[in-house]
Amino acid sequence: MDILFQAFGWIGAAGLLIAFYLNSAGKITAADKSYQIANLVAAILLTLNAYHLGSYPFIIINVFWAGVALLSLIKRK
């Protein structure tokens, strides 16, 4: 089970960094649905990893991050 949560962490981190890079490079904007979905999925995966590790500060950060992404997606409709 450890390897599953490690995979969540690595995939989440990669997703977050790729979305950040694409935004910084001007390939996507923060207003793009794909950017917010990437942030939401990555934050959920990172939250699961942080919970497994018992890293409560990172749980809070990533729950907040996911919440912002989710609110952004909801406001788009």
Query: In this predicted model, what pLDDT tens digit does every residue of 1-45 receive, in sequence order?
Result: 899 999 999 999 999 999 999 999 999 999 999 999 999 999 999
Q: How many domains does the chain have?
A: 1
In whole angstroms, what is the distance from residue 62 CA to residue 47 CA? 6
Other residues' Cβ atoms within 10 Å of the Cβ of residue 77:
4
Query: In this predicted model, what pLDDT tens digit does every residue of 40-74 receive, in sequence order?
Result: 999 999 999 999 999 999 999 999 999 999 999 99
Is 0.85 topped by the overall pTM? Answer: yes
Helical packing angle, 56-75 and 33-53, nearest 10°: 160
Parent domain of 9: 2-75
Closest CA to 46 of 72, 19, 7: 7
Q: Which residues of 35-49 are buried (b: 16+ CB within 10 A; e: fewer)?
A: bbbbbbbbbbbbbbb
